Amino acid sequence: MSTLEITNLHKEFVDVYTGETVTAVGDVSFGIEQGEFVSILGPSGCGKTTVLNIVAGFDTQTSGTVHVDGRAVDGPSPERGVVFQSFALFPWKTVLGNVIFGLRMRGVPRRERDVIAQQYLQLVGLEGFERKFPHELSGGMQQRLGVARVLANEPAVMLMDEPFASVDAQTRRKLQEELTGIFETKRPTVFFVTHDVDEAVFLADRVVVLSARPSRVSEIVTVPLERPRQWRAALDSAEFRHTVTYLTDLLAGDEPGVPADVDRA
Amino acid sequence: MAPPPSVSRPGTRLSRRLKATFWFFIPFVALAVVWIITVEMTGVAMRTFPQLNDVRDAIGDLWSTGDLFTHVGSSLRRVMIGAILAVITAVPFGILLGSNRWAAAFFSPLLRFSVALAGIAWIPLATLWLGYGERAVIFIVWNAMFFAITYNAMLGVQRIPTELWRAARSLGTPRWRMFGEVFLPGALPNVVTGLRVGLGYGWRGLVAAEVVATSSGLGYSIFQAQQFYRTDVIVAMMVIIGVLWLITDRALLAPLERRTVERWGMKAVTA
């Protein structure tokens, strides 16, 4: 049994302006094993964030099921922590206050949670910043805090919604490398939504490719890269490049009217 | 990492402070000059409008007789009690409205209806219910502040990004703890705005209510002075009310804002 099991997920909603029924998620089924990193890749507007929101319990499906550790998802829960694109840190809490937030909500005693918090702050390289407020950190540090805040809760699965989309390109590379490092140390189960092919491949054990709306799983690709991973080595490896090319073609074929080889120069 | 705050020598900081203070007082000095010249040139009688030094003398008299402290004391006490009651009632109510769509839909029309009526229009009923005295005045101050604070607290909660609600919920926050953990701190920038606006309304309500309902306080003394054509006392009391307001704003609300909203990097969004 997989840690996360999504079966025939289907989501429709009524467009407020046109009054039409729109299918956001057509028919999505896949599973994530314990300790596995899975990227969900698809063109923008394909409904991948909707899938994440349903798994997180923020939204409900029209039909189909989502199970985590055999239990049907029913509303948000600390077993499915979310790392947001906008970071969503609590501005009124210090770095430490953010990390221990979930532990505090679950009633973990102070001494215990301080020990756990230190461990995760160290993991993401934020030790020494405990008393800072989020706005005093750079974007990259804020998102590392976002990851620590979720992992401190030891969720069954960590959901990540394009978490590095709002940081600059250099920082993004660095954060991706750090995330693989954290993953390789802690082996959490990760559900990672992105539209960036390189990112999806570099991070994941498997890539679930969603088609454009109404989304279906068009393919699930296993990434043939050794761990630990680093960008330098990945870019040099033929497997990485082949996988990226394959997925890029797959996505390009999915967008009629936008040829993949447009030369803008 | 964000650049560290620029290190400034204490000297430059002090001079910046002095400069700001200087520019704050310049308009008042200008006003005083225009005042003196206008009254001098028109030769208007004291029973119509006082000269600046008459007002200064009036404040001096009020000070030496101790009347000033009696009136300021009772007015401040009423504003304070009214304000505390308003915060205790309006902040939770506003947060309820901001966090519950049904409550907002139900109460919003009533709130809008009440805007023009808040405060002063309630004086007749307040005196009928509570008699002439302290309690009616406090009721008016509370009433005048309630709507501004409620409305801003509601707005504050509605402005909290959806992701913050979601983050809190998916970190295991039970619904009943959302109030203290997310809604209250998240709405604080707007609550402070509401408190500022509300206290302004509160002072106005106080002055009007004291005219009608008591025999002490700044509003009452303005009214008394009017009976004897003492424009110097009237204007003196007006100046004192203005100064008290400025002190409340600078000494109470500004530090509250610095310690919370500014420290957290949350900019207040004015309604």
Q: In this structure, is the dihedral angle defined by the CA atoms of residues B141, B144, B147 and B152, taken in order, positive or negative?
A: negative
What strand order describes the sheet that includes A215-222?
Answer: A71-72, A63-68, A4-14, A21-32, A215-222, A206-210, A37-41, A190-194, A157-161, A80-83
Radius of gyration of chain B (CA): 22
Residue A265 lies in a domain: no
Give me the CATH number covering residue A58. 3.40.50.300
Band of residue A259 on the pLDDT scale cut at 50, 70, 90: very low
Strands (E), B12-148: none
Q: Which residue of B has its CA nearest to A57?
A: B170
Phi, psi of B12 (to 5 degrees): -65, -35
Q: In this structure, is the dihedral angle defined by the CA atoms of residues A159, A161, A163 and A169, taken in order, positive or negative?
A: positive
A7-55 per-position pLDDT tens digit: 999 999 888 888 899 899 999 999 999 999 999 999 888 889 999 999 9
Q: Does residue A201 surpass a pLDDT of 90?
A: yes
Chain-chain contact of B266 with A92 (C-beta, under 8 angstroms): yes
- How many domains in chain A? 1
Give me the CATH number covering residue B61. 1.10.3720.10
Chain-chain contact of A134 with B2 (C-beta, under 8 angstroms): no
B254 vs B259: CA distance, rounded Å? 9
Q: Which residue of A has its CA nearest to B188?
A: A92
pTM: 0.84
pLDDT given at position B114? 87
Chain-chain contact of A102 with B182 (C-beta, under 8 angstroms): no
Chain-chain contact of A82 with B167 (C-beta, under 8 angstroms): yes
Contact status of B6 with chain A (Cβ, < 8 Å) = no
Residue A210 lies in a domain: yes
Contact status of B170 with chain A (Cβ, < 8 Å) = yes
Mutation site for A-interface testing, chosen from B170, B183, B258, B259 by largest number of A Cβ within 10 Å? B170
Q: What is the mean pLDDT of each run of 10 residues along chain B (271 residues)?
A: 50 82 91 94 89 92 91 94 96 95 91 86 91 92 94 94 96 94 94 91 92 88 90 93 89 84 72 40
CB distance A228 to A180 below 8 Å: yes
Chain B closest-CA separation from residue A129 CA (Å)? 11
Q: Which residues of chain B make contact with A106, given a CB cutoff of 8 A?
A: 172
Chain B closest-CA separation from residue A49 CA (Å)? 13
- How many domains in chain B? 1
pLDDT given at position B185? 94
Mutation site for B-interface testing, chosen from A79, A105, A144 by largest number of B Cβ within 10 Å? A105
Residue B40 lies in a domain: no
Give, as one character, the DSSP assignment of residue A60. Answer: -
Q: Which residues of chain B make contact with A84, given a CB cutoff of 8 A?
A: 163, 166-167
Mutation site for B-interface testing, chosen from A60, A89, A92, A129 by largest number of B Cβ within 10 Å? A92
At CA A256, angle to CA A251 and CA A258, rounded to 5?
A: 80
Contact status of A137 with chain B (Cβ, < 8 Å) = yes
pLDDT given at position B253? 85
Closest CA to B191 of B68, B102, B98: B98
The pairing of strands A157-161 and A80-83 is parallel
Chain A residues 182-241 with CB within 8 Å of chain B: none
Burial bucket for residue A31 (CB in 10 Å: 0-12, 13-18, 19+) = middle
Band of residue A202 on the pLDDT scale cut at 50, 70, 90: very high
Residue A65 lies in a domain: yes
Residue A178 lies in a domain: no
Question: What number of other Cβ atoms are within 10 A of residue B238's Cβ?
Answer: 14
Residue B4 lies in a domain: no
Least CB–CB distance from A81: residue in B170, B174, B264: B170
pLDDT given at position A104? 95
Closest CA to B206 of B58, B66, B80, B59: B80
Q: Which residues of chain A make contact with B157, given a CB cutoff of 8 A?
A: none
User: Can you tell me the mean pLDDT for A213-233?
Assistant: 91
Which ranges constitute the DSSP H helices of A64-196?
95-99, 101-105, 110-123, 139-151, 169-186
Mutation site for A-interface testing, chosen from B160, B166, B171, B261 by largest number of A Cβ within 10 Å? B171
Question: Which helix (H) or strand (E) segment is B191 a member of?
Answer: helix B184-213
Residue B26 lies in a domain: no
Residue with tokens 């409900």: A60
Chain-chain contact of A56 with B170 (C-beta, under 8 angstroms): yes
Of the listed ranges A135-149, A249-263, B112-126, B160-174, the one predicted with least confidence: A249-263
What is the distance, to the nearest Å, from the Cα of residue A178 to the centroid of all Cα atoms in its chain? 14
Residue B255 belongs to domain spanning = 51-262
A9 vs A27: CA distance, rounded Å? 5
Chain-chain contact of A82 with B170 (C-beta, under 8 angstroms): yes
Q: Which residues of chain B make contact with A137, given a CB cutoff of 8 A?
A: 1-2
Residue B17 lies in a domain: no
pLDDT given at position A257? 44
Contact status of B250 with chain A (Cβ, < 8 Å) = no
Residue A160 lies in a domain: no
User: Can you tell me the mean pLDDT for A241-261?
Assistant: 75
Residue A59 belongs to domain spanning = 1-79+189-235
Residue A206 lies in a domain: yes
Chain-chain contact of B1 with A141 (C-beta, under 8 angstroms): yes
